[in-house]
Copies of this chain bind each other. A is one copy, B any other.
């Protein structure tokens, strides 16, 4: 592979509760030339994690020829303050008010930007993925939570206080399952990985017959969304029921998004999307049954092109947009000298 790029490279960083991923993304867009991964924990304190990230960036820089790397885009779970580059709170890691962007910029000597991980994933799919070039793209990441990002006219739609696009916290059942956010009936309370597992375990506790039963009876925490998906693929009726119901509820959420945003593409990534057509087929059918035909007719509902590295690619893309577009707000101080 030709590692000399006229536009250079951008390091994309995706900070997950379990893994850190860093990749070298070409300035003009494209899959990362290389991706390295490391556990976020143990020792997930900010200083240690930053040192780990910068070591990963250096490792990749050596591979592409160091001086071609022009900056770092960082995607982190919110809430965060983009302008100051501070992670306000990360329940998964216990961080509070961490000036992550400037820590990475200072230790790496590269300018950096910080953004929400779900926004990064959605932006990646608009930039070079399944929603490439469409005017209106909504991205959902189905994982431990359900993240969302809305890309309108090639820009992440931010809202009045940078809080827009919280697709996972749209209620589709006003008296439904309680959600960690304090509301009820949120999509996340039904269709995140842990919610799928919990719903399956509850049904089994109520007597549902399933190949999932014996591990659950021994230890309910052993059931996972992956196990539900695998059992469904293997023909287990109850697991299929749980997955179909998940798809139905996601379909209702997507119908709402279609009636509100009338997008060209809805891109779904994250671990749960790995269930593939057994999830997507009933999901599409439900969305089409629910939303207006004039809107569903122009909307593709597709699996993410980059379910694993979208966060890395999108973080790099958002760095490019911030610098390239002349938008200096949210770029670390070290970029000012460029």
Interface residues of A (CB under 8 A from B): 79, 135-136, 150, 152, 158-167, 169-175, 181-185, 248-249, 252, 255-257, 259-264, 289-292, 294-295, 297-299
CB of B256 within 8 A of CB of A170, answer: yes
Q: Give the contacting residue for A294; candidates B79, B150, B298; CB below 8 A.
A: B79
In the complex, A184→B291 CA distance in Å?
10
Nearest chain-B residue to A259 (Cβ)?
B166
Q: A285 to chain B: closest CB distance in Å?
A: 13
Question: With the chains together, A169 CA to B259 CA distance in Å?
Answer: 7
Whether the pair A260, B170 counts as a contact (CB closer than 8 A) is: yes
Check A161/B255 contact, CB under 8 A, given A172-B172, A289-B182.
Answer: no
A175 to B175, CA, bound (A): 11
Asked whether, in the complex, the Cβ of A173 is within 8 Å of the Cβ of B170, the reply is: no
Which 10 pairs of residues, A with B, have the shortest CB-CB distance? A159-B262, A164-B262, A163-B295, A166-B259, A183-B290, A174-B252, A163-B262, A161-B298, A170-B256, A163-B294
**Are A262 and B160 in contact (CB-based, < 8 A)?**
yes
Whole-angstrom distance from the CB of A207 to the nearest CB of chain B? 22
Which B residues touch A261, using CB under 8 A?
159, 164
A171 touching B252 by the CB < 8 A rule?
A: yes
CB closest chain-B residue, reference A135? B160
A136 touches B160 (CB 8 A): yes
Q: How far is the CA of A259 from the CA of B182 in the complex (A)?
A: 13
A262 in contact with B158 given A172-B173, A174-B249, A182-B289 (CB within 8 Å): yes
How far does the alpha carbon of A259 sit from the alpha carbon of B257 in the complex, in Å?
12
**A263 pairs with B183, CB closer than 8 A:** no
Q: How far is the CA of A160 from the CA of B170 in the complex (A)?
A: 22
**Complex Cα spacing A249 to B185, Å:** 12
Compute how far the CA of A317 lies from the CA of B160 in the bound complex, rounded to whole angstroms: 24
Which residues on B sit within 8 Å (CB–CB) of A172?
171-174, 185
What separation, in Å, do the CA atoms of A184 and B289 have in the docked complex?
A: 10
Q: A166 CA to B152 CA in the complex, in Å? A: 18
